[in-house]
Amino acid sequence: MFQDVLDFLMKFGPWGLFIHSFFDAVIFPIPAFFLQVSLSMLHPSTALWLATYGFIGCLLGTPIGYLIGKLLGKSVLYKILKKEWIDAATERFQKNGEAAILVGSFTPIPFKVFTILSGCLNFPLWRLMAYAAIGRATKFYVVGTLFYLYGNAAEGMVKNVSLYIFIIAVPLLLLGVYWNRRRKRKRNEVIQSETETEKPVLESKIPDQQTPSA
């Protein structure tokens, strides 16, 4: 059945990938990666345009998946996806939501798991959109660039593209997340320290209230 859906979407070219990517972030269990590869093999010269259609479709579908999680919770995930995928994604989210989204952009776990989980766990939507944009853009455009440069010879390269991106890009992205969080923590510590220093000074300037004599 899913192959029939993919064959149907292929007839629409870039718009088929746009639709697939949109629903990949919402409910469709087959990653848009497979349709992107199939279409890129047919027209390697348009591979970067295909990546753009897929990327935009994914971003537009992300808040819809978030809303589903917000309203329906994880029950909808258990009906359409493997329990181990959901449990693995939930564990990652509870440890570090930002890292989970970045890593989830490259793993075989369908991306909708992370959009819906974000809504379930009240993860800020703007942060989901930001990290989804980074992660999904990386994967879509790496695949698109390989086909654009190497044509159909890139088919063998993209089979392990998720692994390569995971090994190279994810550590760099996670390092950026760690550095940003550390910078914010230090800034908060400085603000707190300055507040504690100023507090005794302010208290010393307040005149003592003398109780009036009877």
State what percent of residues in the chain have pLDDT above 90. 22
- What is the biggest distance separating any 2 CA atoms in the chain, rounded to whole angstroms? 98
Quickly state the pLDDT bin for 18 (edges 50, 70, 90): very high
Helix axes 14-24, 33-42, angle to 10 degrees: 170
Write the pLDDT tens digit of every residue in 182-208: 777 777 777 777 676 655 555 555 555
User: How confident is the model at residue 97, as a pLDDT?
Assistant: 66
Query: Does pLDDT of 154 surpass 80?
Result: yes
* pTM of the model as a whole: 0.70
* pLDDT of res. 39: 93
- Residue 141, token pair as written in the block: 């455009």
Query: Which residue in 174, 97, 103 sits closest to 139, CA to CA?
Result: 103
CA–CA separation, 35 vs 14, rounded Å?
A: 10
Q: Is pLDDT at 214 greater than 50 in this prediction? A: no
Over residues 72-107, the pLDDT tens digits come to: 877 777 776 677 777 776 776 766 666 667 766 766
